[in-house]
Amino acid sequence: MTKQKKTRRVAESKFINFTPIDKAVEAAIYYGFTPTKHPKANKEDLVRISALKESWAKSCAEMPWVFSTEFAEERAAFLREYFEQSMNILPQPVMLVYESETGKERGKNSFNLEVVGTPKSIAEALLIKTAVAILEDNGYKNLSIEINSIGDKESLNKFARELTNYYKKNINELSPHCRQNFKKDAFYVLNCDKCECTKLKEGAPTSVGCLSDESRVQFKEVFEYIETMGIPFKINNCLVPDRKYCSQTIFEIKDNESEDALAIGFRYDGLAQKIGHKKDLPGVGLKVFLKKKSTIKKVSKLNKPTAFYVQLGDDAKHKSLEVIEALRKEKIFIYHMLGRDKFGSQFALVEKSKVPYVIIMGKKESLENSVMIRENATRTQETIKISDLAKYLKKLKA
């Protein structure tokens, strides 16, 4: 091996290389998302999604926050690739980010973020926090979150019955347009902004009011994560998707000045089996829309982390987003697996990563706004304040 090649190989070993992605969404990598290529729908995908796609198209006409039937095709292609590439044998959850075709015709770039393999609320929290970071990096500052939940199958069936009965009793008060939509699906009426329909919606049953105990707990957990982000948020009872392809949580991140939806996300547990896959796959996805830039910069590598972040307990998990964000702002990339709860499960990944240091946060550390840093080689450890963590890690790499 020549000296030049050896030098190049040593230099390359200091970096993690990945599929090139627009630098506009670089924040996603720091939050644990791996860039991948945009999944292309094939004939099999179109056949699998055909029935739901028809439903999706109707939803697009009545629900302006869903932008295109291409979104349905993307979802089918993504799920197929997940199973074809045996991503189910990877450490779960799998977190991916890719550039999307949807939105380009509207003068915007759009990107999909996916967290699959877990039904836990940390998935929604990671998506929302990552999207907020991406939007703020691209100049959006005055943001707010609107959120709702249609719950599990039991919750959804209860809500559908109560909503249908309510509008049947008040059918004469609906606009002619909504009377026709009501015949298709009572959910469509919730998106009408005509005066008479808006007034009627105020007394309509809400999906949140119909949640099962399990769905209520899941929604509460998502709420608790959002509260730690310090971003204004509210429940929007009219944020209701087509029940055939969505489940549980639905959310938007909006620009308060323009009132435009900048990011849209929802959980799609059960969709994999609905479109013909043998196994179900819990997952939640988000699409973020950014203004097109004249010059596109790509990022394809980051410095290899020197540390793996491990969290223990709910208090520490809630604090984790703050820790990752503080390090991201200082351009410090660390490994983490917030989708895991048990220490052993996380530590198995620590050993595979072969990093020299482990950052540990338990209940005690979360209360004291600190972390414990352990050197793997010597087993020595030290407690560091979160506010000093970035500076400390930079010294370790120096």
Quick one: average pLDDT of 219-244? Answer: 86
pLDDT of 155 above 60: yes
Closest CA to 320 of 30, 97, 15: 30
d(CA 23, CA 28): 10
First-last CA distance in the chain: 29
CB 281 within 8 A of CB 82: yes
For the record, the structure tokens of 279 come out as 């196994």
What phi-psi label fits residue 359: left (phi over 0), alpha (psi between -120 and 50 degrees) or beta?
Answer: beta
pLDDT band at 64 (very low <50, low <70, confident <90, very high): very low
Lowest mean pLDDT among 1-5, 150-154, 275-279: 1-5
Quickly tell me which residue has 């009627």 as its tokens: 200
What pLDDT shows up at residue 132?
95
Residue 278's pLDDT band, with cuts at 50, 70 and 90, is confident
As a whole number, mean pLDDT of residues 96-110 equals 75
| pTM of the predicted protein model | 0.88
Q: What is the mean pLDDT of residues 228-247?
A: 83
CA 321 to chain centre: 13
φ, ψ (nearest 5 deg) of residue 346 = -70, -40
Lowest mean pLDDT, pick from 84-98, 124-138, 141-155, 190-204? 190-204
Give the model's pLDDT for residue 196.
64
Identify the weakest region by mean pLDDT among 59-68, 72-81, 316-325.
Answer: 59-68
The mean of the pLDDT values for the chain is 84
